[in-house]
């Protein structure tokens, strides 16, 4: 495998952009359906509630197949797997646009998810093996911006596509982006390989089963009244996690080695990522829904309300290195999480008599702090990993992020449904339910900030970049 110092200048110049292209395509696709579901449901003659399966199937497929990414990259090479994943994702996008019913759309989304589950972890792996640790923060910071822009542009692009063209174009726009990524990947992405150990198929199946059961239980909790049935699925999910723990202790080369969690910065980074994203991930779904349902505005208007988040994310990107160099990871992550929680809480303050444009400054400020949050959490998680754990650790971080996004959406909808059905609020007052949901998610995010107290004041110093 080439040494880091042998990476050519064009590779270092274009590799972050190649990863950014993949992240943008996946994040856009993960959120673009939010404002388009009613139109797709009408065209496919389905209930809008049933259309949630098109979102769930994609997110779950991402989480289930991401653990395979490190093994495939080590065995076949980062460039080969990355190109393969882009092809699969683009083909899945074409199938989505050609779908004639919900079943076909769900199957096509699964195909998309298989491609998406590989392209970002493999792209990040190539980045981590190309840049020195003191360069990695800046490279990752550049590549992570699409993760902030995608969820903002998704509802906006989806609204325009549905209103002025047709819903099919929300999938077709992935194809030219995918072709650009394939071209750049073939030309500039290094094909890193490593000695591939025997794949832990049993561990993969156990872990995938645990992820699937926990995700299904949370989704059913928001849509079903069969509490006993849901509790059984949730319990089985935790039992599968325990089963994986016992399996990994006895297996020579588990898919996710347990000693990854002996690295304190990795352990805190993964747990913090999961906890803080519960609140953060609910906002891109809940706010457009509230603007359309409670205020009666169009999908395009709801998209424009959250658009300023993309612009302020750029300022966060340019400031995060200076902030981390000055305050360190522990202080930055704790303070930043508290601020984001307060901002989510503030989304519940406006009443129906308040102008919807009151949300713009809150969302704009949130974009700045989200940028700092994502970059800081991603880099502290890998700060102290040994080279031998890079592939498995990178895969687990990616799986954790996808599960956190899915859990965040599910928890947000569960809380919203609870407040809609509670007798404490006036009936048919959906806006009040949204307000209380934002209060709850804001408090949850504030509490999640205490996870980062486990970091030491000097943690992450080896990731700091010279400015």
Tens of pLDDT, residue by residue over 218-238, are 777 766 566 777 888 888 988
Cβ atoms of 329 and 464 closer than 8 Å: no
Give residue-wise pLDDT tens across range 78-135.
889 999 999 999 999 999 999 888 888 989 998 998 998 888 888 888 887 777 766 7
Q: How far is CA 147 from CA 141, 266, 273, 284, 372, in A?
A: 10, 21, 14, 12, 12
199: burial class by Cβ within 10 Å (0-12, 13-18, 19+)? Answer: middle
Which positions ≥6 away from 260 have C-beta within 8 Å?
266, 385, 389, 392, 393, 396
Q: How far is CA 38 from CA 45, 51, 132, 159, 289, in A?
A: 10, 8, 47, 11, 11
d(CA 66, CA 281): 19
Pick 361 or 138 by higher pLDDT.
Answer: 361
d(CA 55, CA 37): 10
- % of the chain beyond a pLDDT of 90: 13
d(CA 269, CA 451): 9
pLDDT at 463: 63
Give residue-wise pLDDT tens across range 253-291.
787 878 778 788 888 888 988 899 888 888 887 888 788
d(CA 258, CA 209): 18
d(CA 286, CA 279): 11
Q: Among 65, 95, 92, which residue's Cα sits nearest to residue 81?
A: 65
d(CA 432, CA 429): 6
pLDDT at 133: 66
Token pair listed for 35: 């404002």
Residue 177 pLDDT greater than 60, yes or no: yes
pLDDT at 5: 44
User: What pTM, to 2 d.p., does this model score?
Assistant: 0.78
Q: Among 58, 35, 57, 315, which residue's Cα sits nearest to residue 155?
A: 35
**Radius of gyration (C-alpha) of the chain in whole angstroms:** 21
pLDDT at 423: 57
Give residue-wise pLDDT tens across range 107-120.
999 899 899 888 88
Q: How far is CA 310 from CA 3, 29, 304, 306, 340, in A?
A: 36, 16, 11, 8, 16
Give residue-wise pLDDT tens across range 28-72.
777 777 677 767 877 888 765 566 677 777 877 887 888 788 778
Residue 438 pLDDT greater than 70, yes or no: yes
Computed over every residue of the chain, the mean pLDDT equals 81
Give residue-wise pLDDT tens across range 293-319.
788 887 788 778 877 877 787 777 778
């Amino acid at each position: 495998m080439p040494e880091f110092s042998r990476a050519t200048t064009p590779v270092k110049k274009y590799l972050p952009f190649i990863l950014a292209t993949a992240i943008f395509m996946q994040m856009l696709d993960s959120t673009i359906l939010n404002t388009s579901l009613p139109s797709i449901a009408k065209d496919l003659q389905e209930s809008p509630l049933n259309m949630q399966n098109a979102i769930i199937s994609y997110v779950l497929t991402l989480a289930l197949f991401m653990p395979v990414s490190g093994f495939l990259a080590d065995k076949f090479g980062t460039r080969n797997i990355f190109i393969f994943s882009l092809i699969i994702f683009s083909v899945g996008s074409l199938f989505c646009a050609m779908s004639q019913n919900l079943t076909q759309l769900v199957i096509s989304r699964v195909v998309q998810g298989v491609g998406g589950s590989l392209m970002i972890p493999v792209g990040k792996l190539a980045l981590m093996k190309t840049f020195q640790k003191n360069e990695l923060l800046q490279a990752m910071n550049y590549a992570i911006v699409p993760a902030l822009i995608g969820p903002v542009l998704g509802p906006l692009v989806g609204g325009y596509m549905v209103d002025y063209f047709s819903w099919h174009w929300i999938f077709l726009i992935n194809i030219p982006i995918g072709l650009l990524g394939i071209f750049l990947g073939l030309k500039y992405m290094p094909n890193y390989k490593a000695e591939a150990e025997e794949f832990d198929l049993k561990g993969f199946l156990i872990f995938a089963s645990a992820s699937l059961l926990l995700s299904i239980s949370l989704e059913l909790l928001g849509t079903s009244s069969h509490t006993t049935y849901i509790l059984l699925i949730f319990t089985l999910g935790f039992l599968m996690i325990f089963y994986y723990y016992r399996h990994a202790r006895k297996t020579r080369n588990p898919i996710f080695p347990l000693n990854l969690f002996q690295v304190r910065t990795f352990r805190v980074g993964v747990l913090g990522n999961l906890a803080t994203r519960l609140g953060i991930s609910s906002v891109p779904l809940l706010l457009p829904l509230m603007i359309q349902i409670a205020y009666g505005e169009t999908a395009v208007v709801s998209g424009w309300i959250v658009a300023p988040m993309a612009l302020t994310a750029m300022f966060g990107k340019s400031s995060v290195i200076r902030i981390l160099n000055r305050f360190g990871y522990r202080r930055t992550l704790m303070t930043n999480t508290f601020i984001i929680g307060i901002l989510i809480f503030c989304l519940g303050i406006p009443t129906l008599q308040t102008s919807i444009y009151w949300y713009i400054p809150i969302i704009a400020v949130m974009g700045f702090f989200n940028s700092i949050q994502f970059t800081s959490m991603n880099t502290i998680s890998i700060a102290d990993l040994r080279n031998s754990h890079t592939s498995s650790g990178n895969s687990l971080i990616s799986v954790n992020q996808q599960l956190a996004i899915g859990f965040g959406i599910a928890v947000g909808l569960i809380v919203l449904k609870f407040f809609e059905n509670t007798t404490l609020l006036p009936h048919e007052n959906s806006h009040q339910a949204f307000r209380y949901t934002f209060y709850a998610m804001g408090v949850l995010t504030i509490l999640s900030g205490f996870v980062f107290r486990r970091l030491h004041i000097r943690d992450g110093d080896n990731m700091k970049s010279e400015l």
